[in-house]
Amino acid sequence: MSDAATSRPDKSFDPKRRRALQDMAKGVAGAAACGVLLAGVAEQSKALPAVTLRPPGALPEPDFLSACVRCGLCVRDCPYKTLKLAEIGDGPAIGTPYFIARDIPCEMCDDIPCVKACPTGALAPTLTHIDKAKMGIASLVGRETCLNMLGLRCDVCYRVCPVIDKAITLERTHNTRTQRHAVFEPYVHSDACTGCGKCEKSCVLEVAAIKVLPPALATGEIGAHYRLGWEEKKKSGGKEAVPGLIDLPDRLPEAPKLDVPQLPDGARLPELPK
Amino acid sequence: MSAKRNPGHEAWRQHGFAVAHRWLIARRAAQAGFFLLFATGPWLGVWITKGTLASSLTLGVLPLTDPLILLQSLVARHPLGTTALIGGAIVLVSYLLLGGRLYCSWVCPINPVTDLAAWTRRKLGIETDWKVKPETRLWLLVAVIAASAASGTIAFELVNPITTLHRGLLFGVSWGLVTVLAIFLVDVFVARHGWCGHLCPVGAFYGLLNHGAMVRVSARGRVRCDDCMDCYAVCPEMHVISPALKGERSGAGPVILAADCTACGRCIDVCPERVFRFAHRFDTRLDPPSTTTTARPASMTAATAAE
């Protein structure tokens, strides 16, 4: 017993080994702390401000950050100096390309040089037709300030749109203020809008009434289980989506009962003099 | 201590400035040259290499991509683009053959910063040294890969001071450059060769590509070594020297085979005895001891004559 106790330190305690283990623990712990911090910064970098738009063909934001190596080749090949590389404070992850529509919008080059320049596929090479780009979707967020909505004929956003009459149309409605004119509402069709930002750039207001937003912000989404009866009917060639529906009687609001004195039976009001 | 503060002084006195700085000058020229390939485009409109060190296209045909960034992209689960893969393979194979850490001393834009920090440290005689194990950078490399995998992003590029500096010079100065200043201050005041020698995960990665490096430094004239310690004083990875320089006793060859050696050639410059020279890794030639008897008195008389 005593023999084991005295010999134990010699056998199991090796100062060199302990020292090596401590050094290794120091290195691992320090590096792990740095790694956790870095992963935190990386998570934070996924928050892309709504005003900063990615170049055409950019993968969805989380995928984009796994693909973009921040080489700036897209920026170099952009003929209109639309694209910039983000710096600290710009919003997007540092070094990644973006543009702000109100500063310089995308001119929608036919040959899409930025996508061609991308070596990694962060700007998807599958985008071969610029009209199919989805950099964002224009939205008339300033409905109360838009000159057209006020009943004037500005129409600038409509006229500069590279996909005119498809991405933006002017929808005519009644001008309730004047009671005799029309309002020409700039109406954005999300399926045709590429998010180039020319409308936002050219909006004549101090602060643009029409803004390009990331697609997810600019559109709603119907629940996957929803079925629009009229669409289903069209698809099935006139058949009801749910056959044998009982058509319940329409309930109209009841007429208000007025407390008016009634004439007795058979009585008649006297004739008014002519 | 004066030798430590002024390594290379003796070589300069004996062989002249040009000889005592020839590889340093060559290296600065290479660093400037590699940078100018990128910079003539944005600065002068003459496009040679477009992009940054992360990924580039030279003369419209040669794609090059940093393999460490590609590795992070891969663990972040992005199916890599063809051009990037080709560019990454070219860089990977080139550095595997020539030596990965050639990147550190001949290409990396941070190297002049940390060299300046080391020089400042020597001139100010700063002795404080935060003991960080050189292996720390390997753990940091693992941490960087793990952070990329966990976050699904190319994580290190959010903070990488190398690409931040390079990008900043080419695309406009950024606040990210404070990391470069931080590295300088750490290297001067906190730890000797703190960044390049202990912390940089990029250097750790390129160190992994350095195990079969063809471009090596050989202590071919080690018989002439008079233990002035100048090479140790300038070497950014001083532990690599001894096995080759003092290898006579252990029977080791004269070539510095340690993977940490960046082949910067500063030891060649500062050695008054001309012990070192560039060689390939299989070049085991040694200067015969007979040259010692002629060379050593010559240098000693030169030294005494100067004194």
Tens-digit pLDDT profile for residues B271-287: 999 999 999 989 888 88
| pTM of the predicted model as reported, rounded to 2 decimal places | 0.82
Name the percent of chain B in helix, strand, coil, to the closest 5. 60, 5, 35
Identify the residue among A43, A88, A120 best suited for mutation to test binding to B, counting B beta carbons within 10 A and taking the highest: A120
Question: Which tokens belong to B166?
Answer: 């390079």
Residue B280, burial from CB neighbour count under 10 angstroms (0-12, 13-18, 19+)? exposed
Across the interface, which of A32, A65, A73 has its CB nearest the CB of B153?
A65
Span B174-197, pLDDT tens digits: 777 888 999 999 999 998 889 998
- Length of chain B (residues): 307
Of B78, B83, B146, the CB nearest to A67: B78
Instruction: Please report residues of A whose CB lies closer than 8 A to that of B54.
Output: 69-71, 95
Mean pLDDT of A92-110: 94
3-state secondary structure of A37: helix
Closest in B65, B139, B148 to A119, CB measured? B65
Q: What is the pLDDT of residue A10?
A: 59
A20 close to B (CB below 8 A): no
Region A73-88 average pLDDT: 93
Residues 93-132 of A with CB under 8 A from B: 93-95, 117-122, 125
State how far the Cα of A78 lies from the Cα of B63, in Å rounded to an integer.
Answer: 19
Q: Say whether B143 and A119 touch across the interface (CB within 8 A).
A: no
Give residue A9's pLDDT. 54
Q: How many helices (H) and strands (E) does chain A have?
A: 9, 7
Q: Which chain B residues contact residue A69 at CB under 8 A?
A: 54-55, 65-66, 69-70, 73, 84, 154, 157
pLDDT at B37: 94
- Please list every residue in chain B whose beta carbon sits closer than 8 Å to the beta carbon of residue A39: 146-147, 150-151, 155
Q: Which residue of B has its CA nearest to A97?
A: B171
- Name which of B32, B62, B161, B60 is nearest A76 in CA terms: B60
- Amino acid B4: pLDDT: 64
Q: What is the pLDDT of residues B221-262, one digit of tens each?
A: 888 888 888 999 899 888 899 888 988 888 888 999 999 999
Fill in the amino acid letter for A38: L
Residues of A with Cβ-Cβ distance to B152 under 8 angstroms: 62, 65-66
Pairwise CB contact (< 8 Å): A31 & B159 = no
DSSP assignment, residue A140? E
CB contacts, 8 Å: B135 with chain A: 24, 27
Q: Which amino acid is at B270?
A: V
Chain B residue at shortest CA distance from A125: B81
Q: For chain A, give the percent of residues with pLDDT over 90.
A: 56
Tally the C-alpha atoms within 13 A of residue B202's C-alpha that lie toward its C-beta.
25
What is the C-alpha separation between B69 and A68, in angstroms, rounded?
10
Which tops the pLDDT comparison, B292 or A242?
Answer: A242
Strand order in the sheet with B55-58: B49-51, B55-58, B62-65
Identify which of A23, A26, A119 has the shortest CB distance to residue B55.
A119
Both tokens of residue A166? Answer: 């498809």
B154 closest CB neighbour out of A34, A69, A121: A69
pLDDT reported for residue B204: 94
User: What is the C-alpha separation between B286 and B290, in angstroms, rounded?
Assistant: 11
pLDDT digits (tens, 9 = 90+) for B10-51: 888 888 889 899 999 999 999 999 999 999 999 999 999 999
Could you read off the pLDDT of A154-198 as tens digits, one per residue? 999 999 999 999 999 999 999 999 989 999 999 999 999 999 999
Contacts 24+ apart (CB under 8 A), A84-90: A85/B167, A85/B171, A85/B172, A86/A52, A87/B172, A87/B174, A87/B175, A87/B176, A88/B174, A88/B175, A88/B176, A89/B175, A90/A52
Strands A52-53 and A97-100: antiparallel
Whether the Cβ atoms of residue B68 and residue B205 lie closer than 8 Å to each other: yes
Whether A93 sits inside 8 A of B54 (CB atoms) is no
The pLDDT score that the predictor gives to residue B290 is 61
Judge whether A26 is closer than 8 Å to chain B, CB to CB: yes
Residue A207 CB contacts under 8 Å (≥ 6 apart), including other chains: A142, A145
Instruction: Name the helix (H) or strand (E) containing A245.
Output: none
Is residue A205 within 8 angstroms of chain B, CB to CB? no
* pLDDT for residue A269 is more than 90: no
Name the least confident of A93-102, A142-151, A213-222, B108-117.
A213-222
Contact A39 B76 (CB under 8 A): no
Chain A interface disruption, residue of B52, B62, B138, B151, most A CBs within 10 A? B151
ipTM, two decimals, is 0.84
Question: Are A146 and A210 in contact, with CB atoms under 8 Å apart?
Answer: yes
Q: What's the token pair of residue B89?
A: 């393979």
Report residue B131 as tokens. Answer: 């003991």
Q: Are A188 and A139 in contact (CB under 8 A)?
A: yes
Predicted confidence band of residue A254 (pLDDT cuts 50, 70, 90): confident
Structural contact between residues B245 and B231, judged by C-beta atoms closer than 8 angstroms = yes
What pLDDT is recorded for position B299? Answer: 45
B106-162 pLDDT tens trace:
999 999 999 999 999 988 988 887 878 888 899 999 999 999 999 999 999 999 999
Indicate the residue of A28, A67, A88 with minimum beta-carbon distance to B73.
A67
Nearest to A27 among B79, B136, B151 (CB): B136
Average pLDDT over chain A, rounded to an integer: 88
Task: Answer yes or no: is pLDDT of A123 > 50.
Answer: yes
A30/A98 Cα distance (integer angstroms)? 34
CB neighbours of residue B256 within 10 Å: 26
B18: distance to nearest CA of chain A, Å?
A: 37
CA atoms of B202 and B104, how far apart (whole Å): 9
User: With helix as H, strand as E and coil as C, how does A73-102 read?
Assistant: HHHHHCCCCCCEECCCCCCCCCCCEEEECC
Say if A31 is an interface residue toward chain B (CB within 8 Å). Answer: yes
Give the separation between CA B29 and CA B103, rounded to whole angstroms: 14
